Amino acid sequence: MLNTILGSFSTGVAPSTSSYESIATVTVGSGGATDVTFSSISSDYTHLQLRAIARTDQAVIPAELAITFNGVTSGYGRHTLFGTGTSVVADARSYSDPAYYLQMITGASAGSNTFGTVIMDILDYKNTNKFKTIRSLAGYDNNGSGYIFLNSTYFGSTNAISSMTIATQSGNFVQYTQFALYGIKGA
């Protein structure tokens, strides 16, 4: 039996896209943006997925991408594994303030027009009987150098997630940065 969300690559069956519904997409304009917020998120889905193509004007690479749910800036924790092609680092920590650092993206010192990508699943986002689990994958290639990141985290709240704000550690998102939020229907 195939999972209707993931499909089965081992049997040559592609994932089903009929279980995903676009909720909203934000593309940053020429003036840049300090953050992006999705509010009044519908409770019509089982899970959420955030997809991003992002770059900041920070003069660092990689640049940190932060997220807060429901305006709450404490009660987050994460496990991270990342690699550069020559080294691997594992990290675990809790955050009280600022919010959970979701992933790393490119900054101004990266090659021209080099953006980082992020795919983040927010599991059981409306379940009021448990803390929320978030898993994400991100990376970028900077003309032969780069990073890949795997994160799992928790949001220590039983409240349903109805809004999320994505920001950088400092600086602004640059033009053409894009965030797309999807709802995933349950089986």
Domain ranges of the chain: 28-138+152-184
Q: How confident is the model at residue 4, as a pLDDT?
A: 44
Q: Which CATH fold topology does 28-138+152-184 show?
A: Jelly Rolls (2.60.120)
CA distance 138 to 181: 16
pLDDT for 50-70, tens place per residue? 999 998 998 877 777 888 899
- What is the residue-averaged pLDDT of the chain? 83
Is-contact 104 147, C-beta < 8 A?
A: yes
